[in-house]
Amino acid sequence: MDSVNVFIDGVGRKNNILRGGVGGQDTSQGNPFPQTAIAEYRVLTQNYKAEYDQVSSVAITAVTKSGGNETHGNVYVNRTGSNWTSLSPIQEQDEANGVKPPSYKQIEAGFSIGGAIKPDTLHYFLAYDGKTIDKPKQLTAQNLDKYPGSPGVIPTLAAQQVAFRNKFKEHLLFGKLSAEINDSQRLDLSVTLRKETSYAVDGDHTSATTAINNNNNEYRVDLAHEYTGDRWLNEARMGLERAQWNPQSDATDPLVRYKYSPTNLLNNVQDIFFTGGSPNAQDRRQSGGYIKDDLTYTGLAGHVFKGGVQLKAMKYELAGTAYRVPTIETVVNTTTGLPYFNGLACTGTTVSSDSLTSDQCRITLAVPTANTNIRNNQYGIYFQDDWKLTKQLELNLGARWDYEDNMLNNDYVTPADRVAALKGLDGRTVGGITAPANQTYAQSLAKGGINIDDYISNGSSRKAYKGALAPRVGASYDVLGDKATVVYGGWGRSYDRKMANNALDEQQKNAQAGGEIWLIKNKYKMPFADQFSLGVRQALGSWNADVAVSNIHAKNQFVWFGGNRDPNGGWGTQSSIDPLWGGPNGFGTLVLGDFVGETKSSGLYVSLDKPYTAASGWSMTVAYTYTSAKTKDRDWNDADVFDWTYGKSTHSWNPNKDTEKHRLVVGGLMDKLPWGMQLSGKLTYGSGNPRQVTDCHLGWNQCRYLEADSDSFKQLDMALSKNFKVYGGDLQVRLDVLNLFNSANWGYYNDWGGGPTTTPSNAIGGDNPDLGKRTGVRGSMRQFKLGVNYAF
């Protein structure tokens, strides 16, 4: 979702430093804006106009409410909780094993009010949304049954299984003052405040000590001026913003990841339980101001011209470390129940000279906090024309150009110790291949097609990308001139941006002496997507039909990939799905970053819609989507910034495990019921996402990925509501039932096929008997939710 953007009153709220697309959404369960403040919104999935910037997938546009001469508002509260929610099969299983799920509650409440300070001249509007969300977790160990008699550390790990509540609170406040200066001019001043706190563990097989406190705050001030002439409208806007994302752990102990292996080797493992403290400690901030101007001109018959310019002056203050405490991965011996870690160093076989690795253990040392401040100016200019050539034919033409002068810290200088190691003599033996005398590590990389000089930065070698020119063309044709049959289509290129957090990754990792080497290619680009659609809308009496095909091809997506090569420029004896871990002598793995990721999807969309009318008292929508989605990412998704095997000859298109092929949604509403009640519902069916099974049964150098099917998704949601007249206002009471039939929609599985064995224990010949075992559900089990809203 990094390529999403949300536009509130014409201003984008792009997250410049973190994932999630929109500011503050990286790890949030909340909303970026109060819902009670939204007057209207649209979701644009593709072929949006040139006025929308920094987006290459979904653009969400919203217009906020304003006060009027009369005072209006609303107050609402929604509640659900553990006593209103059914347990999933996994929760029932954990409860049977002695870990009872905790009680919890979820409350959403808010209000809005708007009116006049001075009628016809000065108006106000204020909205607040608040959320308190507890999410129950049963923190349980797995694979304990592989240790008969519970030897060694197994009882200690089992004793740390507990019920836990992830806690989240959000406060959203929006205020607006609107001044009608005269018949031609309007001035809006708005303020948005967002404050979130959370305390949560990541995953279900980890101790409560790994929980993280996170503060997520955002503040905005926006000023808009509208000037309307006879044939034109000018919209000038300016504003300030500041956001902070600050996750920290309470614990200071090392994080220990205990693993089960049937062969007692780290290359054939499954999780047991994680203990200790979280290594995550971050403080990321973005702040800045913008000024933009949009001019619309309608003085030429058949044309609506619109153009605009924008400048954003941004500052990124990035600090923290991903390894605040050491992280240990260790196998637990299947006989003794003891880990191959003695509290200080790795044990077992093939122990390294620094005791940080063995065949059964790997230690990642703590990395000190790194800090970097980046100033980045963003420029955008666009022009578009909605051109009505005839009564039946309309063209939508546009283009925009965007430029950023310091997106990824152009002043960065690669540390001298990293440069010396990369340029120094190789001297390694990898997979039986020994580097020739006098051959440098850089020359070994060059044999594999990597010019390391392209990645070494001297503080002036990185240049801003100037080629982000995005043309956009659309058309619609009213076949008979009566709007009953309309053919439409479009093609466009949309450029996005890359988050500054990648520049901090580079600096953080390179701060550790003898650690990993992370380098970003100097000649970088900007991610974009080419989008095409063609469809027809048809009126069928009181129904509307829509059939469309679409294609989206996203390129220049930023990824980190494995840069190490053997002395012949190859990948050693690694399997097709594994990178060649490691780097130059005395350092960890070489990781390179470049804009080389790629995804594509083709789709068919069919819908039937019967709009609501007071006479009929009902509405209905049926929508079917077929999607064929592909990705070149090693992990078969488009949301990961790590594509470790980029550059291999076997690196090609794969199924996208984030996208299901078939999806059917049927929604409806009817209000001609006894006592003026209203009934609505939504039925959702999904064919299930592709699964990626890792199969190493042929040997560790012959591992491969296999595609497997997952269960389909089926859910029926219903809602019953009733309105009452109370003190001159409308009181609505609404009862929602999510997942009415309590369907267990399995979405998570054990997809480890296992390693080589003489006694296969699964269908593909591996040694993991739990292959295909269901481990978690998607969405909620049956849940009741009660809501009350009073509007006046």
**313 and 405 inside one domain:** no
**335 and 465 inside one domain:** no
The pLDDT value given to residue 113: 98
The pLDDT value given to residue 1: 67
Mean pLDDT (whole number) for 271-294: 96
**272 and 416 inside one domain:** no
- Is residue 218 a contact partner of residue 240, using CB atoms and an 8 Å limit? no
Q: What is the pTM of this model?
A: 0.92
- Residues 379 and 499: their CA atoms lie apart, in Å, by 16
**648 and 700 inside one domain:** no
- Residues 335 and 342: their CA atoms lie apart, in Å, by 17
Q: Which residues of 73-94 are buried (b: 16+ CB within 10 A; e: fewer)?
A: bbbbebbbbbebbebbebbeeb
Give residue 513's pLDDT band: very low, low, confident or very high (50, 70, 90): confident
Q: Specify the residue for token string 């949009």.
A: 294
Q: Which residue, of 388, 415, 445, is where some domain finishes?
A: 388
Residue 625 within any structural domain of the chain: no
Residue 77 within any structural domain of the chain: yes
Residue 780 within any structural domain of the chain: yes
Q: Which residue, of 388, 413, 446, is where some domain finishes?
A: 388
**232 and 353 inside one domain:** yes
**338 and 445 inside one domain:** no
**636 and 742 inside one domain:** no
pLDDT over threshold 90, residue 71: yes
**417 and 357 inside one domain:** no
The pLDDT value given to residue 512: 85
Residue 573 in 3-state DSSP? Answer: coil
**592 and 701 inside one domain:** no
- Is residue 609 a contact partner of residue 539, using CB atoms and an 8 Å limit? no
**377 and 460 inside one domain:** no
Residue 294 within any structural domain of the chain: yes
Give residue 79's pLDDT band: very low, low, confident or very high (50, 70, 90): very high
Task: Tell me the per-residue pLDDT of 548-603, one tens digit each, with 9 for 90 and over.
Answer: 999 999 999 999 999 999 999 999 999 999 999 999 999 999 999 999 999 999 99
- Residues 117 and 178: their CA atoms lie apart, in Å, by 10
pLDDT over threshold 90, residue 472: yes
Q: Which residue, of 388, 423, 454, is where some domain finishes?
A: 388
**166 and 304 inside one domain:** yes
The pLDDT value given to residue 11: 93
Domain count, the chain: 3
Q: Which residues of 295-310 are buried (b: 16+ CB within 10 A; e: fewer)?
A: bbbbeeeeeebbbbeb
Residue 9 within any structural domain of the chain: no
Helix boundaries (H) for 666-736: none
In terms of residue numbers, what domain contains 251?
A: 65-388
Mean pLDDT (whole number) for 756-761: 93
Residue 443 in 3-state DSSP? Answer: helix
Residue 425 within any structural domain of the chain: yes
- Residues 307 and 298: their CA atoms lie apart, in Å, by 12
Residue 705 within any structural domain of the chain: yes
Residue 16 within any structural domain of the chain: no
The pLDDT value given to residue 533: 97
pLDDT over threshold 80, residue 25: no
Q: In this structure, what token pair is assigned to residue 787? A: 């809501």
Q: Which of 269-273, 364-368, 565-569 has the lowest mean pLDDT?
A: 364-368
**138 and 232 inside one domain:** yes
